[in-house]
C-alpha cells in the first residue's frame, strides 16, 4: 500500500465534520473536543511535514485547551527549539484541517510536500503529551493513527504541562550539542528546576508558605511531583500548600479556580480559602500562566498579574547584571502588549529606565520580540511569560570573571536564573519559583511587591459584533485602521479622560471585539470602556 493510500485510509477513521471550518489560531486549534478528531489526525501529518522539512528534527505536539472549559480541547505544534510553530506554517495547518474529504486531504498533503520541497521518504520524529482532560486519550488515538500513516517515529510523554512538553522538545533536539538544554524526561525537568531553585536562592530563605491553586489541571500532579525534588523549606526549598489539585473529576478543571478565573473575576478561587495576607498564586489548566494575589482585610483583593511579574523580574535581573559588573554588556528589555497597564509601562521606562517593546497579543509575538534583547523579559497581563537570555548573553554570563565577592555572588544568582527559567515558553511552575527567589532576595512579601507602582484603574469589555473581521488593528493593536473613522472617534473620547487610554481589537480566539480602557479613576475607566464599546457595535 502506498503511503498516500495509508494516509487516505487513516483519515477515513477520523472524518472531517461537515460544514465545520478550522483555523490554526494564536493557540493552535481549540474548540469542543468532539469536533477535533480529524484535526488531530491532520496535525500528525503536519508534524510529519515539519519534521522532514527540518531534516528530521523532533517536533512537539501538545493536546490541551489551557484555561478553556473541560469539554473543550485543542492541539498545537512545538518547533524544535521549544518555540511555537513558525507563523508561516499556520496556514498549512489550516489547509490540511479544512481538506473536505479523505482524498482531498491526501492531495493537500502531497501538494504541500511538493511545494515545500519535502522528501516524504526521509525520517520524521515527534514527541507528544496531553493535559488531564477526559477527551485527551481518545484524541491521542487519532494522533497515533496520523503518525503511523505518515511514518513518524514518536514518543508518548503521556501527561505533561504544556511548558514541560516545550522543554522536552528542546532537550531532545539539543542532546549532545553545545546547546544541550537538559535531560529530555519529566524527571530531568524536575531535577534541573529544583537544583537551579536552590542555587538561585543562594542560602536565602523563602519566608512563609505559598498557596498554589492548580486550576484542577495537570499542574496539580506535576507540582506534587516537583515537590519531591525540592529541598526542605529550611534548606533551599519552599513550603507549599497545594489546592485545587483534583484531576479525578474532570468537570472541575478551571471551574471557579485557576489563573484565568482570578484575573478575569478579580477574586480568589472560593475553594482556596485564602486567609488575609496569605501569599497565593494560581496556575491555569495547562500550567503556562501564573497570577499572584493576596487579600488585605481593609483594602480587599490585590492582584499581582503578568505585568507585575514582568516588572519584578526586570528589576531583579537588571540589578543582578549591574551588580555582577555586566550592566553594560547585558541589555535588559521588557516586552508587553497593549493590555499592559500604563502604570507598569511608566514604572519600567521611568523608574527602572529599561526599554519596552509593545507587540500584538499572543505569546509567539512577545517571545520573538524578547529575543531581540540580550535579556528579554516578556509577560502578557494574563500571566503568560518568561525571561529569555540570548546566546551572547549566556556566553557573557558564563565566561565573565568576577572582580569582587559581591560580583561573584550576583553572577552565581544570574547563572542559576538562566537554568531555573524555562527559556522555551511561559512556565507557571518555574515562574513562581522565580518570583519566590526574587522575593526571598529582597526580603519582600506580596505587599512590598505591590507597592512598587500603582496600576491605573482599567476595564476590559467583550463586545459581540456581527463580523469581527472588519476590525483591523495596527501599531501593536493599539489603533484601528478599519472601519474607517473608528480610531478618530476613539481618540476623541480618550482625549476627554485624565490618563485616558483605550483600544479595540478583534479577538483571535472568540467571535468578539475586546475593548480595553484605563483612566485616572475607576469611574472614568468604566465610562470610557462603555463608550468605546458602543462605538464598535
Ligand atoms: C491565546 C494566547 C494568549 C493570548 C490570548 C488572547 C498563546 C499560547 N495563547 O490564548 O497568549 O493572550 O490568546 O486571546 O499565545 P484573544 O485574542 O481572544 O484576546
Ligand atoms: Zn495555558
Q: How confident is the model at residue 1 (pLDDT cuts 50, 70, 90)?
A: very low
Question: What residue owns the CA closest to ligand 1's atom 12?
Answer: 362
Q: Which atom of ligand 1 is nearest to the CA of 288?
A: 8
The CB density around residue 380, as the number of other CB atoms within 10 Å, is: 24
What's the gap in Å between 428 CA and the centre of ligand 2? 9
Question: What residue owns the CA closest to ligand 1's atom 10?
Answer: 27
Q: For residues 175 and 203, give the distance between their C-alpha atoms in angstroms, rounded to a whole number.
A: 31
- Looking at residue 405, the DSSP 8-state letter turns out to be H
What's the gap in Å between 41 CA and the centre of ligand 2? 22
Q: Which three cell numbers stand for residue 456?
A: 491605573
Mean pLDDT (the chain, rounded) = 96
pLDDT tens string 444-466: 999 999 999 999 999 999 999 98
Kindly identify the ligand whose nearest atom is closest to the C-alpha of 289. 2
Q: How confident is the model at residue 340 (pLDDT cuts 50, 70, 90)?
A: very high
Question: What residue owns the CA closest to ligand 1's atom 2?
Answer: 362
Question: What residue owns the CA closest to ligand 1's atom 5?
Answer: 362
Query: What is the mean pLDDT of the segment spanning 384-408?
Result: 97
Cβ of 131 below 6 Å from ligand 1: no
Cβ of 362 below 6 Å from ligand 1: yes
Query: What is the mean pLDDT of the segment spanning 62-87?
Result: 97
Cβ of 499 below 6 Å from ligand 1: no
pLDDT tens string 215-244: 999 999 999 999 999 999 988 899 999 999
Is residue 295 scored above 80 in pLDDT?
yes
**Burial code of 278-289, b = ≥16 C-beta within 10 A, e = fewer?**
bbbbbbbbbbbb
pLDDT tens string 84-134: 999 999 999 999 999 999 999 999 999 999 999 999 999 999 999 999 999
Q: Where are the beta strands (DSSP E) in 203-350?
A: 209-213, 239-243, 279-283, 290-296, 300-304, 332-337
Q: What is the pLDDT of residue 502?
A: 98
Cβ of 489 below 6 Å from ligand 1: no
pLDDT tens string 489-534: 999 999 999 999 999 999 988 889 999 999 999 999 999 999 999 9
Q: What is the pLDDT of residue 342?
A: 97
Cβ of 508 below 6 Å from ligand 1: yes
Tell me the DSSP string of 174-239: HTTSTT----SSHHHHHHHHHHHHHHHHTT----SEEEEE-TTSTHHHHHHHHHHHSPPGGGT--E
Kindly identify the ligand whose nearest atom is closest to the C-alpha of 428. 2
Q: Is the preceding omega at residue 483 within 30 degrees of 0, hence cis?
A: yes
Question: What residue owns the CA closest to ligand 1's atom 3?
Answer: 362
Question: How far, CA to CA in Å, does 158 sit from each of 46, 61, 155, 225, 510?
Answer: 20, 11, 9, 15, 29
Cβ of 460 below 6 Å from ligand 1: no
pLDDT tens string 343-371: 999 999 999 999 999 999 999 999 999 99
What's the gap in Å between 401 CA and the centre of ligand 2? 39
All structural domains of the chain, each given as residue ranges with its CATH number in brackets, are 3-159 (3.40.120.10), 188-303 (3.40.120), 306-450 (3.40.120.10), 458-536 (3.30.310.50)
The environment of the single-atom ion ligand 2, i.e. residues with CB closer than 5 A, is: 66, 284, 286, 288
Cβ of 380 below 6 Å from ligand 1: yes
Q: Which atom of ligand 1 is nearest to the CA of 84?
A: 8
- Checking 115-122 for CB contacts under 8 A at 24+ apart, the result is 116/49, 116/53, 116/92, 118/49, 118/52, 118/53, 119/52, 120/3, 120/48, 120/52, 120/151, 122/52, 122/55, 122/56
Is residue 399 scored above 90 in pLDDT?
yes
Distance of CA 334 to the CA centre of its chain: 16
ipTM of the complex: 0.96
Cβ of 78 below 6 Å from ligand 1: no
The CB density around residue 443, as the number of other CB atoms within 10 Å, is: 10
Query: What is the mean pLDDT of the segment spanning 167-189?
Result: 97
pTM of this structure: 0.96
What's the gap in Å between 360 CA and the centre of ligand 1? 10
- Catalytic annotation present for 409: no
Cβ of 414 below 6 Å from ligand 1: no
Percent of the chain at pLDDT exceeding 70: 100
205 φ, ψ (degrees, to nearest 5): -110, 140
Question: How far, CA to CA in Å, does 328 sit from each of 270, 319, 403?
Answer: 47, 12, 15
pLDDT tens string 148-163: 999 999 999 999 999 9
**Among 476, 508, 514, 516, residue to substitute to test ligand 1 (most atoms within 8 Å of Cβ):** 508
Amino acid at each position: 500500500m502506498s503511503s498516500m493510500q495509508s494516509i487516505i485510509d487513516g483519515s477515513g477513521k477520523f472524518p472531517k465534520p461537515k460544514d465545520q471550518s478550522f483555523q490554526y489560531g494564536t493557540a493552535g486549534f481549540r474548540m469542543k473536543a468532539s469536533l477535533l478528531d480529524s484535526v488531530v489526525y491532520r496535525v500528525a501529518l503536519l508534524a510529519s511535514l515539519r519534521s522532514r522539512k527540518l531534516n528530521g528534527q523532533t517536533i512537539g505536539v501538545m493536546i490541551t485547551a489551557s484555561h478553556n472549559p473541560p469539554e473543550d480541547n485543542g492541539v498545537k505544534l512545538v518547533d524544535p527549539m521549544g518555540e511555537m510553530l513558525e507563523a508561516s506554517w499556520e496556514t498549512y495547518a489550516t489547509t490540511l484541517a479544512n481538506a473536505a474529504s479523505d482524498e482531498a486531504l491526501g492531495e493537500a498533503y502531497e501538494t504541500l510536500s511538493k511545494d515545500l520541497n519535502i522528501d516524504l521518504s526521509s525520517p520524521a520524529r515527534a514527541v507528544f503529551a496531553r493535559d488531564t482532560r477526559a477527551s485527551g486519550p481518545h484524541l491521542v488515538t487519532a494522533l497515533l493513527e496520523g503518525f503511523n500513516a505518515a511514518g513518524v517515529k514518536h514518543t508518548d510523554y503521556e501527561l505533561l504541562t504544556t511548558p514541560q512538553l516545550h522543554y522536552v522538545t528542546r532537550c531532545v533536539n539539543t542532546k549532545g550539542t553545545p546547546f544541550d538544554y537538559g535531560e529530555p524526561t519529566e524527571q530531568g525537568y524536575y531535577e534541573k528546576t529544583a537544583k537551579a531553585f536552590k542555587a538561585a536562592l543562594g542560602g536565602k530563605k523563602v519566608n512563609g508558605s505559598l498557596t498554589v491553586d492548580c486550576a484542577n489541571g495537570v499542574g496539580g500532579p506535576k507540582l506534587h511531583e516537583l515537590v519531591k525534588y525540592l529541598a526542605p523549606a529550611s534548606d533551599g526549598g519552599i513550603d507549599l500548600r497545594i489546592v485545587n489539585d483534583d484531576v479525578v473529576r474532570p468537570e472541575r478543571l478551571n471551574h471557579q479556580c485557576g489563573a484565568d478565573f482570578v484575573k478575569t473575576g478579580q477574586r480568589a478561587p472560593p475553594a482556596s480559602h485564602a486567609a488575609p495576607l496569605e501569599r497565593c498564586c494560581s496556575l491555569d489548566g495547562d500550567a503556562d500562566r501564573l497570577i499572584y494575589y493576596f487579600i488585605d482585610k481593609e483594602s480587599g483583593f490585590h492582584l499581582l498579574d503578568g505585568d507585575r511579574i514582568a516588572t519584578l523580574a526586570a528589576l531583579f535581573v537588571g540589578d543582578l547584571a549591574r551588580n555582577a559588573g555586566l550592566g553594560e554588556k547585558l541589555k535588559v528589555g521588557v516586552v508587553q502588549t497593549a493590555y499592559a497597564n500604563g502604570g507598569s509601562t511608566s514604572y519600567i521606562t521611568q523608574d527602572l529606565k529599561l526599554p519596552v517593546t509593545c507587540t500584538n497579543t499572543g505569546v509567539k509575538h512577545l517571545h520573538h520580540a524578547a529575543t531581540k534583547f540580550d535579556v528579554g523579559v516578556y509577560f502578557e497581563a494574563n500571566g503568560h511569560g518568561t525571561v529569555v537570555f540570548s546566546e551572547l548573553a549566556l556566553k557573557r554570563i558564563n565566561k565573565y570573571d568576577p572582580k569582587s565577592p559581591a560580583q561573584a555572588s550576583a553572577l552565581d544568582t544570574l547563572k542559576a536564573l538562566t537554568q531555573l527559567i524555562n527559556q522555551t515558553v511561559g512556565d507557571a511552575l518555574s515562574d513562581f519559583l522565580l518570583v519566590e527567589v526574587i522575593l526571598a532576595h529582597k526580603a519582600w512579601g506580596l505587599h512590598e511587591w505591590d507597592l512598587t507602582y500603582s496600576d491605573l484603574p482599567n476595564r476590559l469589555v467583550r463586545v459581540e459584533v456581527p463580523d469581527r473581521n472588519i476590525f483591523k488593528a495596527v501599531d501593536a493593536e493599539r489603533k484601528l485602521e478599519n472601519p474607517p473613522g473608528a480610531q478618530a472617534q476613539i481618540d476623541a473620547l480618550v482625549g476627554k479622560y485624565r490618563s485616558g487610554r483605550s483600544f479595540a481589537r478583534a479577538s483571535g480566539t472568540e467571535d468578539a471585539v475586546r475593548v480595553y480602557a484605563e483612566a485616572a479613576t475607576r469611574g472614568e475607566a468604566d465610562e470610557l470602556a462603555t463608550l468605546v464599546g458602543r462605538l464598535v457595535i
